[in-house]
Amino acid sequence: MGDELHSSEWIAGSININPVLVRKELSNLRQHGLVESKEGKNGGVYLAKPANKILLSEIYEAVRQESALGTKRTDPNPKCKVGKQINKHLDSLYNEVEDTLMQKLGKKTLAEFAGKFT
């Protein structure tokens, strides 16, 4: 894992995005233990463990902010019989679906994905 050290500028160039945004998201990935970084000259970021030990489910968990099905904008009217219960039922549905999704992603590693690049 000592290999493959890249600067945020380099990564930003590849995905056409601002380097600071890259560093921000990298900061998040670091907190989730997926990457590590080296400061100073010739510094950069690298995977915290080998790619074949990183599951896509881990990445998904680190990266996503909300449920795959969405969860925002929900302050229903508590006076409404349906509105009063909807969040509870949606949450349980979302969780169930999300579990399926995680199981699926948990079967794939980053190395597999990276292997598709020729």
Report the interface residues with DNA, using CB under 7 A.
6-9, 17-21, 23-24, 26-27, 30, 37-45, 65, 72-73
Selected binder of its own copies within 50, 69, 71, 95 (CB under 8 A)? 69
SS (H, E, C) the chain: CCCCCECHHHHHHHHCCCHHHHHHHHHHHHHCCCEEEECCCCCEEEECCCHHHCEHHHHHHHHCCCCCCCCCCCCCCCCCHHHHHHHHHHHHHHHHHHHHHHHHHCCCEHHHHHCCCC
- Give the range of 23-31, 33-41, 47-55, 78-86 binding its own copies by CB under 8 A: 78-86
Per CB under 8 A, the segment of 30-38, 45-53, 74-82 that binds its own copies is: 74-82
Q: Which of residues 49-68 bind its own copies (CB under 8 A)?
A: 56, 60, 68
In the range 21-40, which residues lie near its own copies by CB under 8 A? Answer: none
Report the alpha-carbon distance of residue 69 to residue 66 in Å, rounded. 8
54/91 Cα distance (integer angstroms): 28
Q: To the nearest whole angstrom, how small is the minimum distance from the Cβ of residue 102 to DNA?
A: 21
If the CB atoms of residues 1 and 80 are measured against its own copies, the closer one turns out to be 80
Least distance to DNA, CB of residue 24, Å:
6
